[in-house]
Amino acid sequence: MKKATQIFGLGILLLTMACSPTQSLQEYYVDNAENPDFISLDLPASILNLEEANLNPTQREALQSLRKLNILAFKKTLANAQSYEVEKAKVNAILKGDDFVELIKLNSKYGKGVIKYLGDADAIDEVVIFGNSDDKGFALIRVLGDNMNPAHVMQLLKAIQTSDYSGEELGAIGQFLKG
């Protein structure tokens, strides 16, 4: 009976969200920045600590177009499992908006994800990375910049993956993202 009540409550919440106007991603960040279920960080792009000397010209251009990163992560626990489902549904609803253009869908043994962007195809203003794992929670990363090029951003992501960047500068969020 308790499970049925929880499912009914979740259904009512989802229905309420579906009927109300969808909030913007920025509003979602602001609304949840102080929520104890979330870890929130606003970081300058320099936190990536990439040696520009090791970057090719395309990667260097991509790095220079970045301004900052907004990170919001929900760490799932047994106590907040129902809230996790509600918050994940909210993020998915926001990202289904017409303003977002899908760049890549991800599906691995670690979870699912999507990379989307706002702006023109050759001058992106914001890249959004949303990844979730039903075991651990989700992370929502906004990469803000000026006239970012999608191909260049992908090159930069490859450079970060192959670098010796440890993520230590990210503190608690780095530990969360590691697992």
Mapping DSSP to helix (H, G, I), strand (E, B) and coil, where does residue 176 land? helix
Amino acid identity for residue 135 in this structure: D
Residues of the chain above pLDDT 90, percent? 36
The pLDDT score that the predictor gives to residue 149 is: 78
Contacts of 137 (CB under 8 A, 6+ apart): 73, 74, 75, 76, 84, 176
Whole-model pTM: value is 0.74
Q: For 43-91, what is the HEC assignment? A: EEHHHHCCCHHHCCHHHHHHHHHEEEEEEEEEECCCCCHHHHHHHHHHH
Among the residues of the chain, which ranges form H helices? Answer: 2-19, 25-32, 57-65, 81-95, 150-162, 172-178
More confident site: 84 or 61: 84
Residue 136: CB partners within 8 Å, gap ≥ 6?
75, 76, 111, 176, 179
pLDDT at 19 (0 to 100): 45
pLDDT band at 165 (very low <50, low <70, confident <90, very high): low
> For residue 140, is pLDDT > 90?
yes
Residue 49: HSE in the Cβ half-sphere, 13 Å Cα cutoff? 9
Tell me the domain boundaries of the chain: 23-178
Say whether pLDDT at 72 is over 70. Answer: yes
Tell me how far apart the alpha carbons of residues 119 and 127 are, in angstroms, rounded to a whole number. Answer: 9
Q: Which residues partner with 38 through β-bridges?
A: 74
- Per-residue pLDDT band for 43 (boundaries 50, 70, 90) equals confident
- The per-residue pLDDT for 169 is 52
pLDDT digits (tens, 9 = 90+) for 95-133: 998 889 998 898 988 889 999 988 887 778 888 999 999
Per-residue pLDDT at 2 exceeds 60: no
